[in-house]
Amino acid sequence: MSNYRIQGATGEWEVVIGLEVHAQVTSNSKLFSGAATAFGAEPNSQVSLIDAAMPGMLPVPNRECIRQAVRTGMAIAAQINTWSRFDRKNYFYADLPQGYQISQLYHPLVGEGSLLIEADEKAGIAEDKIIGIERIHVEQDAGKLMHDQHPTMSYVDLNRAGVALMEIVSKPDMRSPAEAGAYLRKLRAILRYVGSCDGNMEEGSMRADVNVSVRRPDEPFGTRTETKNVNSVRFVMQAIEHEAMRQVDVLESGGTVEQETRLFDPGTGTTRTMRSKEDAHDYRYFPDPDLLPLVLDEDFLAECRASLPELPDAKRKRYIEVLGLSPYNARELTAEVETFARFETLLAETAKAIGKDEPAVATQVANWSLSVAPGVMKALGDEGDPANATAAAQAAILAMQDKGEISGGQAKEIFEIVLKTGRDPAEIAETEGLKQVSDTGAIEAAVDSVIAANADKVEQYRAGKEALFGFFVGQVMKAMQGKANPQLVNQLLKGKLG
Amino acid sequence: MSVDKATVAKIASLARIRMDDAALERMVPELNGILRWVEQLGEVDVAGIAPMAAVIPGTLRLREDVVDADPLTGGGKQADVLANAPAAEHGFFGVPKVIE
Amino acid sequence: MTDLTADLTSLGVKEIRDGVARGDFTAREVAEAFNAAVAEAAALNAFIVTTPDHALAAADKVDADRAAGKELGSMAGVPIGMKDLFATYGIQTTAASHILEGFLPRYESTVSSKLWDAGAGMLGKLNLDQFAMGSSNETSYFGNVTSPWRKAGSNAAMSPGGSSGGSSAAVAARIAPAATGTDTGGSIRQPAAFTGICGIKPTYGRCSRWGIVAFASSLDQAGPMARSVEDCAIMLGAMAGFDPKDATSLDMPVPDWEAALNSDLRGKKVGIPREYRMEGTDQAILDSWEQGKAWLKDAGAEIVDVSLPHTKYALPAYYIVAPAEASSNLARYDGVRYGLRELPDGSGLQDMYAATRAAGFGDEVKRRILIGTYVLSAGFYDAYYTQAQKVRALVARDFERAFAECDVILAPTTPTASFPLGSMTDDPLTMYLNDVFAVPASLAGLPAMSVPATLNPDGLPLGLQIVGRPFDEQGVLNAGLAIEQRAGFTARPEKWW
Ligand SMILES: [Mg+2]
Ligand SMILES: [Zn+2]
């Protein structure tokens, strides 16, 4: 249970949040036409006669878009509807050439599923929580309007018109901005794992319609507003905070919340009524007569299932249970596709370089990946070239460290040089003298001379003052100019001191 | 069910057809005549009947995800798309300024 | 030349094609003859634009191909009229609406391009009821089409039927040997019946809808209109075929209907639906129906009674489904990307839409958009639209059951003969009743044809309708041929234009 509450003048209010996320499906061509979907082309250059809704033009659906939506549904353990169909949502707007959006209302492709958000003390999420997902349906994106190019005209670019979207509709299960943020991040990760959406919120590949209402704790839901097209996790959280406050203010001053569509202004972090959509709530949905029912066969479903990768929750569990990573490390490493991909490559390389199995080196690689390497990179800033941080180079460093040839400090120094120059780690260790001495003879000689020079302390140690052990280590390391392998030093000292 | 002038005005506005008072006035009895007539469908016993989903039984064909596979349904034809536009500038369609 | 011209324009599709192939005359001679006939027939107002150059260019290509010994297409040398609902590249395509006046498509409809590929040429774009909404050709922005037929002893301008009224008038007047039509709820069959010609609406999905201005997507089907069953078979063969650009297109081979024509109906059963015996049907039509039964019996068929119990509800169901789809299909005419734009001073985007659509659409189109908008609107959807789609399913089921007992169904095409222009415009409902016999087959997506049977006492043509099982255009054409052979319908309108 979230204990996020808004303190109003008349008492506490609870926020109820549902998100409708529009995620652009990764595909080469549009949902119903062969025009390209690539981002940022000349206006109206990626527009077919179909997208421009020329008279007599007809839609034919793209298999890949359906496939990606089905795979996404499977990734959230949702019901896949083998019989679905497309409906028309009718309204007039300059970014909607047909005068209707082809969408799915009555029989969506994907039914109920769910997604897990994890406990995060810092964010105020006390425990793991399952957020219900109502449905995923497939629909067309609209075009783009530009209002600032001409004094009296808006310009219409239809390049995006007809690009496939998945609308992922959550249940009103979230109770704080933090939960909404966590839901969005998790959803984004899943989409990116599956490869059904690039999750790029800046380019608009993922937008959220934020449904917010407030109520007294344990009372029925209040009237909700829908804030359209919010395009970052932070903005979604801000929009919820502002909108919930606004509604509390309205209610506490005796007013009623209007069910309406609102816009978020990132500049001020506030929401406002959207004037252009004010009479658009009678969409006259009906089955699109240009399209027959969509029926999926078992082969299609089997391919979708077989092509799914290991998903975030499963991966995290495996990292903890099989690789023996801490829950924290496991969560950090599985949050983003790039992160786990880099980690798994490095893990494989390192295990090979050391000659042990992956669980045996996983914690070492995890610590390196999450804290050591990023620390070095950060400290180095622009001087380092991340491209030099190949898995092979890092595995070589980790292997040298594992074999005791270099110390942790030396590993960092070597990595720094690798980042700057791209040189080979072993060569660096050699030429820059960044190796620790593991020559038993040399260390033994140093140990002998330290023992000889500190006979009194040896006496005390042998009499039971074990705390002196650290002193001996320090003396030996000093004698070896810090380059002795500490394990060997310990081992030899223990042997000689008895 | 029957419609009055206000309802016709609302429908006309939903359908984006401007109608003056006289036109609305004229339309009321016409629409009511048609609606009364189609309402005889209410007599039909449709228990257990699914609404027709496809005229000729069949299911939706899906196409492969290939860009511009057929020039007739592909993009890259800005000139064709804009050729008939009442107002086209700099590659865009122009419309009266919209305030969102 | 004059004699040859008169002769050539009396020829049909097969005669022209075979004559050109044999070298009896050139395709250019044919095109010139029809171009001239079209130019003389302005009084019919059958064409919105004429395209004599298109016809000539196609003809010249056929003549050149023939000279070069190349194989000629199934429509080679035949100049046809194209209903102005088919998009034609670079040639104004209007759906007879002001809102599309001046629209020059940068694409060619699948059906028209198949016809050009088969060697046909285009005489022009034929007038029609605006957006194919009408049964008398009185809703066109470009003026009524006048039928070449007149009542005996009267000069009153008669309706050629609708919506393919330009097509029916042109073919009946011999200013085109054939024309394309589209049929949403009878728009090929009813005008064919009114003008004494043949017309077939194939199974839904046979002809691609790609590039045809949409009226009601689940009903619209293109088909040929010509003066003989055989000509219809030839032209339908050129128009039909799978099109991956239309998701409702039938992915089935197109049979060679022309080759398989056969009027021997022995072993076939012809169903007579008792519910088509409706009040308000002309006695002459009932008589011609009886005559039709006798002809088919003579051709060897067995006549059986069948029942289509939901017939009465087909028309009201149609007047929910078709306007609902139309209200959405016509939303794209908004003045943004093509066509008319009305921008009163100081108006915003939504005002522009409302002004453009008010000025661009005719009254019947507005009426249907409003009905369609209403029946889909919040709170009414189930009562109207869902109920209508259920009734539609019942209408289709009726046919399915009837076809368990017969191979084709014989019925009148229309309840009356043609009527004077202007005589039915007061009440939309009376006008809608024109299609009472045609609409059931449309709702069920079945192939259906009208064949001229006889003249009524006023000297106006009457048609008989044959409805077939899904995909059985052949059965429909064969029964049509049997009627045609026995009816011996040779009447033609006297030239007054
Ligand atoms: Mg939404
Ligand atoms: Zn949506």
Within a domain: residue C342? Answer: no
The model's confidence at residue A313, banded by pLDDT at 50, 70 and 90, is very high
Nearest to C327 among B15, B37, B70 (CB): B15
Within a domain: residue C61? Answer: yes
Q: Give the domain CATH number at B27.
A: 1.10.20
Q: What is the pLDDT of residue A489?
A: 85
Mean pLDDT of A427-437: 85
| pLDDT tens-digit readout, C333-343 | 999 999 999 99
Q: Looking at A294-298, A406-410, B14-18, C13-17, which range is the least confident one?
A: A406-410
| pLDDT tens-digit readout, A456-473 | 988 888 888 888 888 988
Within a domain: residue B35? Answer: yes
Within a domain: residue A19? Answer: yes
Whether B20 shows a pLDDT value over 80: the answer reads yes
Catalytic member of C113, C135, C147, C163 = C163
Verify that A232 and A206 share a domain, yes or no.
yes
Phi/psi region, residue A285 (left: phi>0; alpha: psi -120 to 50; beta: rest), is: beta
Rounded to a whole number of angstroms, the distance between the first and last alpha carbons of chain B is 36
Within a domain: residue B49? Answer: no
- Out of A2-6, A149-153, C121-125, the most confident range is C121-125
Within a domain: residue C194? Answer: yes
CA A6–ligand 2 middle distance (angstroms) = 30
Q: What is the pLDDT of residue A280?
A: 57
Domain that holds residue C201: 2-262
C114 is an active site residue: no
Nearest CA among A143, A138, A145 for reference residue A48: A143
Verify that A229 and A294 share a domain, yes or no.
yes
Whether C22 shows a pLDDT value over 80: the answer reads yes
Verify that A297 and A336 share a domain, yes or no.
no
CA A69–ligand 1 middle distance (angstroms) = 17
Q: In what order do the strands lie in the sheet with B88-89?
A: A144-146, A153-157, B92-96, B88-89
Q: Give the domain CATH number at C158.
A: 3.90.1300.10
Mean pLDDT of chain C: 97
| pLDDT tens-digit readout, A43-57 | 999 999 999 999 999
A225, A248 contact by CB (below 8 A): no
Verify that A236 and A363 share a domain, yes or no.
no
Whether B2 shows a pLDDT value over 50: the answer reads yes
Q: Do A290 and C248 touch (CB under 8 A)?
A: yes
State the Cα–Cα distance between residues A445 and C468, nearest whole angstrom.
107
Verify that A178 and A43 share a domain, yes or no.
yes
Q: Give the domain CATH number at A447.
A: 1.10.10.410
Whether A278 shows a pLDDT value over 70: the answer reads no
Three-class SS string for chain A?
CCCCCEEECCEEEEEEEEEEEEEECCCCECCCCCCECCCCCCCCCCCCCCCCCCCCCCCCCEHHHHHHHHHHHHHCCCCECCEECCEEEECCCCCCCCCEEEECCCCCCECCEEEEECCEHHHCECCCEEEEEEEEEEEECCCEEECCCCCCEEEEECCCCCCEEEEEEECCCECCHHHHHHHHHHHHHHHHHHCCCCCCCCCCCEEEEEEEEEECCCCCCCCCEEEEEECCHHHHHHHHHHHHHHHHHHHHCCCCCCCCEEEEECCCCEEEECHHHCCCCCCCCEECCCCCCEECCHHHHHHHHHCCCCCHHHHHHHHHHCCCCCHHHHHHHHCCHHHHHHHHHHHHHHHHHHCCCHHHHHHHHHHHHHHHHHHHHHHHHHHCCHHHCCHHHHHHHHHHHHCCCCCHHHHHHHHHHHHHHCCCHHHHHHHCCCCCECCHHHHHHHHHHHHHHCHHHHHHHHCCCHHHHHHHHHHHHHHCCCCECHHHHHHHHHHHHC
State the Cα–Cα distance between residues C328 and A67, nearest whole angstrom.
28
State the Cα–Cα distance between residues B98 and B95, nearest whole angstrom.
8
What was the ipTM of the complex prediction? 0.97
Verify that A160 and A257 share a domain, yes or no.
yes
C163 is an active site residue: yes
Verify that A445 and A352 share a domain, yes or no.
no
Q: What is the pLDDT of residue A279?
A: 56
Contacts of A282 in chain C (CB under 8 A): 377-378
Q: What is the pLDDT of residue C4?
A: 59
| Residue at a domain's end among A393, A423, A453 | A423
Q: Do B17 and C391 touch (CB under 8 A)?
A: no
Within a domain: residue B29? Answer: yes
**Strand bridging mode A225-230 / A261-265:** parallel
* Chain centre distance of CA B81: 21
| pLDDT tens-digit readout, A150-185 | 999 999 999 999 999 999 999 999 999 999 999 999
Q: Do A145 and B60 touch (CB under 8 A)?
A: no
Q: Do A57 and C211 touch (CB under 8 A)?
A: yes
Verify that A180 and A104 share a domain, yes or no.
yes
φ, ψ dihedrals at A349, nearest 5°: -65, -45
Whether A492 shows a pLDDT value over 90: the answer reads no
C184, C132 contact by CB (below 8 A): yes
Q: Is B52 on the interface with A (CB under 8 A)?
A: no
Mean pLDDT of A293-311: 98
Q: How many domains does chain C have?
A: 1
Within a domain: residue A428? Answer: no
Mean pLDDT of A265-284: 80
Ligand closest to the CA atom of residue A164: 2
Give chains near A: 3+ CB pairs under 8 A: B, C
C249 is an active site residue: no
Verify that A378 and A468 share a domain, yes or no.
no
Within a domain: residue B82? Answer: no
Catalytic member of C113, C187, C208, C418 = C187
Catalytic member of C14, C74, C83, C208 = C83
For the record, the structure tokens of C440 come out as 């059931």
Mean pLDDT of chain A: 93
Mean pLDDT of C271-277: 96
| pLDDT tens-digit readout, C426-470 | 888 888 998 999 999 999 999 999 999 999 999 999 999 999 999
Q: What is the pLDDT of residue A277?
A: 55
Whether A84 shows a pLDDT value over 90: the answer reads yes
Domain that holds residue A492: 440-497
* pTM (2 d.p.): 0.93
Verify that A265 and A292 share a domain, yes or no.
yes
Whether A372 shows a pLDDT value over 50: the answer reads yes
A vs B: CB pairs below 8 A: 159
- Enumerate the β-bridge partners of residue C110: none
C111, C181 contact by CB (below 8 A): no
Within a domain: residue B71? Answer: no
Whether C1 shows a pLDDT value over 70: the answer reads no
Q: Answer whether the bond into residue C163 is a cis peptide, omega within 30°.
A: yes
Q: How many domains does chain A have?
A: 3
Q: Which amino acid is at C464?
A: L
Vertex C314 angle, CA C309 and C319, to 5°: 165
Mean pLDDT of C368-389: 96
Nearest CA among A188, A269, A177 for reference residue A21: A188
The model's confidence at residue C2, banded by pLDDT at 50, 70 and 90, is very low
Within a domain: residue B83? Answer: no
Alpha carbon of A9: minimum distance to chain C alpha carbons (Å): 39
Give chains near B: 3+ CB pairs under 8 A: A, C
Whether C257 shows a pLDDT value over 70: the answer reads yes
The model's confidence at residue A442, banded by pLDDT at 50, 70 and 90, is confident
Within a domain: residue B50? Answer: no
Q: What percent of chain A has pLDDT above 90?
A: 77
Task: Name the residue of chain C whose CA is nearest to B86's CA.
Answer: C338
Mean pLDDT of A53-76: 98
Task: Name the residue of chain B whose CA is nearest to A157's CA.
Answer: B92
CA C83–ligand 1 middle distance (angstroms) = 41
Q: Is C211 on the interface with A (CB under 8 A)?
A: yes
The length of chain B in residues reads 100
C483, C296 contact by CB (below 8 A): yes
Mean pLDDT of A88-104: 97
State the Cα–Cα distance between residues A191 and A26, nearest whole angstrom.
10
Which residues touch C266 (CB under 8 Å, ≥6 apart)?
C299, C300, C301
Q: Is A61 on the interface with C (CB under 8 A)?
A: yes
Please, which contacts does B29-36 make with residues 24 or more away whose CB atoms are closer than 8 Å?
B30/C367, B30/C428, B31/B3, B31/C367, B31/C370, B31/C371, B31/C374, B32/B2, B32/B3, B33/C427, B33/C428, B33/C429, B34/C319, B34/C367, B34/C371, B34/C428, B34/C429, B35/B1, B35/B2, B35/B3, B35/C371, B35/C374, B36/B2
The model's confidence at residue A483, banded by pLDDT at 50, 70 and 90, is confident
Which residues touch A431 (CB under 8 Å, ≥6 apart)?
none
Alpha carbon of B71: minimum distance to chain A alpha carbons (Å): 8
Domain that holds residue B27: 5-42
Within a domain: residue A1? Answer: no
Whether A143 shows a pLDDT value over 80: the answer reads yes
CA A157–ligand 2 middle distance (angstroms) = 19
Mean pLDDT of C57-71: 98
Other CB atoms closer than 10 Å to residue A22's CB: what's the count? 20
Alpha carbon of C14: minimum distance to chain B alpha carbons (Å): 31
Q: Which amino acid is at A260?
A: E
Q: What percent of chain C has pLDDT above 70?
A: 99
Q: What is the pLDDT of residue A1?
A: 53
Q: How many domains does chain B have?
A: 1
State the Cα–Cα distance between residues A410 and A425, nearest whole angstrom.
11
